[in-house]
């Protein structure tokens, strides 16, 4: 038994910020202080508050230290672990109130969250199966295999109201029922861990912080539908997640929780990993299965749906990581417990990856029905630098922008769809007044164009034409007639594309047209970008406050600025490449962007 535990984030974010070096230094300093038999260092998954990493928590006090550097470790060991005194300067400070917060659980970031899918992330060592078991891990599997029939399992999932967290929001229990009802002894259970949305890292964090939760849920799903083989399709760009999955699968097999005759119940189920090479279209269920089969990842027409004819032509269920992360808790705590959270048609919680113009970048898990304002202002800490909230993009390239007029909308599947957005897998990118919404639409559409598999003409050609319209607008060369034609093209692509990638690709364009049409008109009619983002429509001018210091002239990479010392300098707009270096270097704020 140890008297103290030092939990250090080992997720991708903090690892890239040298948390591995922190762990090594803590172990060295603890050994030097002769505390190796009293204090244990634990590498965990993500705590959620990525903005202040690398982070660590010292228990039993629960002291939450943020932005910890290697040179800070000795002080923490000597003061906190040896003398029992908190190192106040390293404790997390609330960005809004500037108050020191001792424990992460006391922070505004955590108070309005409800952690179900993320319950073990940042709490246990994901590479130790015993720690997962100590947190009620595999108890749900034991209950299912020893006390429940397959149909009873499905009935519980149905009654919970759990909907797929991968984007479409299809009822999970219904999907399992379809697969169970199909004849045949060979059925498959697949996990979609091919998280490709820009700004999304929810599934990665669950795999890195709690991989056994996914393995347990997939085994339960296999029992429920009559399947004996599972596949986790995870992108190769997630090396930490892949490594921890490999360790977890090995441990589960050694403990008799995967493989033949699980827990001596006569039920066989095993799981293998398949690595994806980063194709966004492989997040679509039929394309993912085609890729697992060893073919080029392209979608197939539906019907037949995968629950009828999926992987290798057999009945298959596919859920994403977050969906599976809820299963064991639903089995243990009951359908009513899960259904008590959320809204009438959207039960439970949802994990979001907060990014963009937000103070508290990181992972949050909220009950469905929580307002967008609560997520951004209370949990996210608001918009930095005193800027105003302009919009939030949810659902990635398949979603839409939520404008300030819907700041108080309760977040659930149906509400988001009603305003032209969607839940998606859970990326939430926040934008402020400095973002150009036409440019945002162009960014997401360019991503979709690059990721299209090219199988169907509406997506392959239509989205390319759509991108050309947007480029024409941001270059100041479009007409209002082009705007009308672009909108018509959006609806054609949505109606005729083969799979969800093409069908939802125009959403960012349509939602920005719906709520920010005035910005499109300004680009076309006034030849101005209101946010000052689109380079072709920008110009830089030196105002009368210029002191003639010549710094801008010396910094200009193309020699577009000239003048005499102590006199007002001028910019030759025919030479200016609009890089903004002059404006950044001016110490007197004498250069403006128009």
pLDDT at 484: 95
| Residues 377, 97: Cα–Cα separation, whole Å | 13
| Whole-number Å distance between alpha carbons of 295 and 453 | 13
- Gap between the Cα atoms of 234 and 251, Å rounded: 19
Contacts of 109 by beta carbon, 8 Å cutoff, 6+ apart: 48, 49, 360, 362, 364, 379, 381
Contact indicator for 129, 250 with CB cutoff of 8 Å: no
Do 541 and 557 meet the contact criterion of CB atoms below 8 Å apart?
no
Task: Decide if 126 contacts 42 (C-beta within 8 A).
Answer: no
Helix 321-333 with 139-147: angle, nearest 10 deg = 60
What is the spatial distance between Cα 430 and Cα 216, in angstroms, rounded to a whole number?
Answer: 34
Domains of the chain: 4-106 (3.40.30.10), 129-338 (3.40.50.11540), 349-432 (3.10.20.600), 437-526 (1.20.1440.230), 539-593 (3.30.70.20)
List helix spans (H) across 318-381: 321-333, 335-339, 372-373
Q: What is the pLDDT of residue 543?
A: 95
Residues 6+ apart with CB under 8 A from 423: 165, 167, 169, 350, 394, 395, 399, 411, 412, 413, 416
- Are 496 and 463 spatial neighbours (Cβ–Cβ below 8 Å)? no
Distance from C-alpha of 172 to C-alpha of 178, rounded to nearest angstrom? 10
Give the total residue count for the chain.
594
- CA pair distance 344, 17, nearest whole angstrom: 41
Structure-block tokens of residue 417: 């769809």
Ordered DSSP codes for 138-161: THHHHHHHHH--HHHHHHHHHHHT
Alpha carbons 211 and 222: distance in angstroms, whole number: 17
- Give CA–CA dist 357/129, Å, rounded: 38
- Tokens encoding 380: 């996210």
Cα 170 to Cα 168: distance, rounded to the nearest angstrom: 6
Give all strands (DSSP E) within 360-517, no chain letters.
362-367, 389-394, 400-403, 427-432
pLDDT value, residue 463: 97
Task: Show Cβ contacts of residue 468 under 8 Å, excluding neighbours closer than 6 positions.
Answer: none
Residue carrying the six token digits 């078991």: 133
Blockwise average pLDDT, block size 10, the chain, 594 residues? 95 94 97 96 95 94 96 97 96 85 92 96 97 98 98 98 91 98 96 89 95 98 98 95 98 98 97 94 94 95 95 97 98 98 96 95 96 96 94 91 96 93 89 96 95 94 97 96 96 95 94 97 96 92 95 95 95 93 94 90
Closest CA to 412 of 396, 394, 429: 394
Rounded Cα distance between 443 and 401, Å, is 13
The predicted pLDDT at position 1 comes to: 83
Enumerate the H helices of 161-238 as residue ranges: 172-180, 202-209, 211-225
Burial (CB count within 10 angstroms: exposed 0-12, middle 13-18, buried 19+), residue 121: buried
Query: So what's the pLDDT on residue 495?
Result: 96
């Amino acid at each position: 038994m140890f008297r103290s535990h030092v939990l250090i984030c080992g997720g991708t974010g903090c690892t890239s910020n040298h948390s591995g070096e922190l762990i090594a230094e803590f172990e060295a300093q603890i050994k030097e202080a002769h505390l190796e038999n009293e204090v244990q260092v634990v590498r965990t998954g993500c705590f959620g508050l990525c903005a202040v990493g690398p982070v660590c928590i010292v228990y039993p006090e629960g002291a939450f230290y943020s932005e910890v550097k290697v040179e800070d470790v000795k002080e923490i060991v000597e003061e906190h672990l040896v003398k029992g005194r908190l190192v106040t300067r390293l404790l997390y400070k609330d960005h809004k109130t500037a108050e020191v917060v001792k424990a992460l659980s006391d922070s505004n970031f955590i108070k309005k969250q409800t952690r179900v899918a993320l319950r073990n992330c940042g709490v246990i060592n994901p590479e130790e199966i015993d720690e997962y078991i100590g947190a009620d891990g595999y108890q749900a599997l034991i209950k299912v295999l020893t006390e429940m029939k397959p149909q009873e399992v499905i009935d519980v999932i149905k009654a919970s109201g759990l909907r797929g967290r991968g984007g479409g929001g299809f009822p999970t229990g219904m999907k399992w029922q379809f697969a169970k009802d199909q004849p045949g002894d060979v059925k498959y259970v697949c996990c979609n861990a091919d998280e490709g949305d820009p700004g999304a890292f929810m599934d990665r964090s669950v795999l890195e912080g709690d991989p056994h939760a996914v393995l347990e849920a997939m085994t339960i799903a296999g029992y429920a539908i009559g399947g004996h083989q599972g596949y986790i399709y995870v992108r190769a760009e997630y090396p930490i997640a892949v490594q921890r999955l490999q360790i977890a699968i090995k441990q589960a097999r050694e403990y008799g929780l995967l493989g033949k005759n699980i827990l001596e119940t006569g039920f066989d189920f095993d799981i293998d990993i398949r690595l994806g090479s980063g194709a966004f279209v492989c997040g679509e269920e039929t394309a993912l299965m085609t890729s697992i089969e060893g073919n080029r990842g392209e979608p197939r027409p539906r019907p037949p749906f995968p629950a009828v004819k999926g992987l290798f032509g057999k009945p298959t269920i596919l859920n994403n990581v977050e969906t599976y992360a809820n299963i064991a808790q639903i089995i243990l705590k009951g359908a009513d417990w899960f259904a008590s959270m959320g809204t009438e048609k959207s039960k439970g919680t949802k994990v979001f990856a907060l990014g963009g113009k937000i103070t508290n970048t990181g992972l949050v898990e909220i009950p469905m029905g929580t307002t967008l304002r609560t997520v951004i202002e209370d949990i996210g800490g608001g918009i930095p630098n005193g800027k105003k909230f302009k919009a939030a993009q949810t659902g990635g390239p398949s979603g839409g922008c939520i404008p300030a007029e819907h700041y108080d909308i309760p977040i659930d599947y149906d509400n988001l769809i009603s305003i032209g957005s969607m839940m998606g897998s859970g990326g939430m990118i926040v934008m402020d007044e400095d973002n150009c919404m036409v440019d945002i639409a162009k960014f997401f559409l360019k991503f979709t164009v690059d990721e299209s598999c090219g199988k169907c003409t509406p997506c392959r050609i239509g989205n390319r034409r759509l991108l050309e319209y947007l480029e024409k607008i941001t270059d100041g060369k479009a007409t209002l007639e082009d705007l009308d034609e672009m909108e018509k093209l959006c609806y054609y692509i949505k109606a005729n594309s083969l799979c969800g990638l093409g069908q939802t690709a125009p959403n960012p364009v349509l939602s920005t047209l719906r709520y920010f049409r005035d910005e499109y008109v300004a680009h076309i009619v006034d030849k101005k970008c209101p946010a000052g983002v689109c380079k072709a429509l920008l110009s830089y001018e030196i105002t009368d406050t210029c002191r003639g210091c010549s710094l801008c002239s010396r910094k200009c990479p193309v020699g577009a600025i000239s003048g005499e010392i102590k006199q007002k300098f001028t910019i030759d707009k025919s030479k200016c490449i609009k890089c903004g270096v002059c404006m950044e270097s001016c110490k007197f704020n004498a250069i403006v962007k128009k």
